[in-house]
Amino acid sequence: MIYLAPNVWYNQAKWQKDFMAVKETKNKGVSADYLKKHLNSTDENKSHAYLILLGLKVCDTEPLLKNIEGGIPYSAFNRFQKYFEMTAGELAELLQISVRTLQRRKTAGKFEPKESDRLVRLSRVFWKALELFEGDFDGAKKWLSEKQAGLGNLRPIDFIKSETGAKEVENLIGRLEHGVFS
């Protein structure tokens, strides 16, 4: 067991096995069944499972931070875009970068650290929505795009642009999972 943060532990062998499976399916893409398996997992720690949406093999906080600092590969953007069937322009807006900057990142093959952090944040919130909708990509995307009373009748997807907003969306998802509909 490896310690990540207060009350957060994970079985390193289990995660290595899971991320090796992601590596093996990299060229084919990870199936919805594979993602649903992780969504329904009863592991003690699923805190970094959202990285599967980006095709990242990182399963520990320290390597994740190093990956962000070094720049997340552009292929992570493509994978996320494929899963959620969003246009490059829609995702660029969520990452707060222009389409022209996105083209430069594609040429460079990776994102800048701040952009990488935003992409990881986006993945984390979408994963939480997937958990709420039990692996239903369309349901999660629709919910994130519709006005929610728990967010002052604003769209969750508009909150994701900042860490504070993303935490508000995650808190709302947590309340909904526990039956608190405030």
Interval 31-69: pLDDT, tens: 556 665 655 554 544 567 888 899 887 567 888 899 999
Question: By C-alpha distance, which of 24, 22, 61, 23 is closest to 38?
Answer: 22
Q: Is the pLDDT of residue 10 over 80?
A: no
**Above pLDDT 90, what percent of the chain?**
56
Domain membership flag for residue 161: yes
Within 10 A of 181 (CB to CB), how many other CB atoms are there? 9
Residue type, 164: T
Of 45 and 21, the one with more pLDDT: 45
Domain membership flag for residue 55: yes
Distances (CA, A) of 133 to 12, 64, 126, 141: 27, 26, 10, 10
Q: Is the pLDDT of residue 97 over 50?
A: yes
Q: What is the CA radius of gyration of the chain?
A: 16
Domain membership flag for residue 18: yes
**pLDDT tens digits, 157-178:** 999 999 999 999 999 999 998 8
User: What pLDDT sits at residue 21?
Assistant: 38
Query: Residues 6 or more apart from 182 whose CB is under 8 A from it?
Result: 150, 175
Query: Could you give the number of structural domains in the chain?
Result: 1
Mean pLDDT taken over the chain: 80
Q: 2: part of which helix (H) or strand (E)?
A: strand 2-5
User: What pLDDT sits at residue 55?
Assistant: 87
Distance CA 163, CA 150 (A): 17
The residue segments making up the domain with residue 91 are 2-177
**pLDDT tens digits, 116-144:** 999 999 999 999 999 999 888 899 999 99
Domain membership flag for residue 89: yes
Residue type, 118: R
Domain membership flag for residue 101: yes
User: What pLDDT sits at residue 35?
Assistant: 61
Mean pLDDT confidence for 3-13 = 40
User: What pLDDT sits at residue 142?
Assistant: 95
Domain membership flag for residue 182: no
The full DSSP string for 121-139 is: HHHHHHHHHHHHTTT-HHH
Domain membership flag for residue 135: yes
Query: Residues 6 or more apart from 142 whose CB is under 8 A from it?
Result: none
User: What pLDDT sits at residue 181?
Assistant: 66
